[in-house]
Amino acid sequence: MLRFSLGSIVTLAALAAVSGGLVWAVSSTGAVRGPVEHEIRVVARSYAFEPPVIRARRGDSLRLRFASTDVVHGFYLEGHDLDVTIPPLSRRALVTRGGRTEAAEEVALVLERSGKFRFRCSKTCGAMHPFMQGELIVGPNRLLLASTILSGALLVIGLAWAFIAPERKGPR
Ligand SMILES: [Cu+2]
């Protein structure tokens, strides 16, 4: 039978505190962080998007607003079931997702997968239309990764201690 000595429980608690502190310390440096909401205004013109590259991390959310400075453009985002029609000189865009289209000033999007997703104009707008593209780059969630690794290490050390410690201190 597996018995937990007082020592192993104290060690486990100490390890938990240390790893929790480490995650907090590293996350406060900004190198690793929790989910963030990005408010981005996407401006479409012939034949480019501004910004051409949107960067975020997995778990982040985007709040996209759209504007066109010349003609009707589109914003089709790969892998996210999202197509937006951007009329010129209007704050409202036509947003198609999940088979439904409605007028909206803002599109909210939770980034559930990391990777590179191209966005491109989906309304024929002129000669260079096929080249009107940009990229959404979703990096991995390092906070999640760091806590997973630390929790794993903690579990291994804790279990090893629980098995080894009682034998070492045994009465025999
Ligand atoms: Cu276009």
Cα 8 from Cα 19, distance rounded (Å): 16
- Return the higher-pLDDT residue of 1 and 148: 148
How far is the centre of ligand 1, averaged over its atoms, from the C-alpha of 124 (Å)? 5
- pLDDT at 39 exceeding the cut of 60: yes
Prediction pTM value = 0.72
Lowest mean pLDDT among 102-106, 116-120, 139-143: 139-143
Mean pLDDT across 86-102: 95
How far is the centre of ligand 1, averaged over its atoms, from the C-alpha of 126 (Å)? 6
Provide the residue type at 154 as one letter.
L
Mean pLDDT across 87-91: 92
Mean pLDDT across 128-143: 93
How far is the centre of ligand 1, averaged over its atoms, from the C-alpha of 47 (Å)? 7
How far is the centre of ligand 1, averaged over its atoms, from the C-alpha of 100 (Å)? 22
Q: Is domain 37-139 given the CATH code 2.60.40.420 in the classification?
A: yes
How far is the centre of ligand 1, averaged over its atoms, from the C-alpha of 120 (Å)? 8
The domain locations on the chain are: 6-31+143-168, 37-139
- pLDDT at 85 exceeding the cut of 90: yes
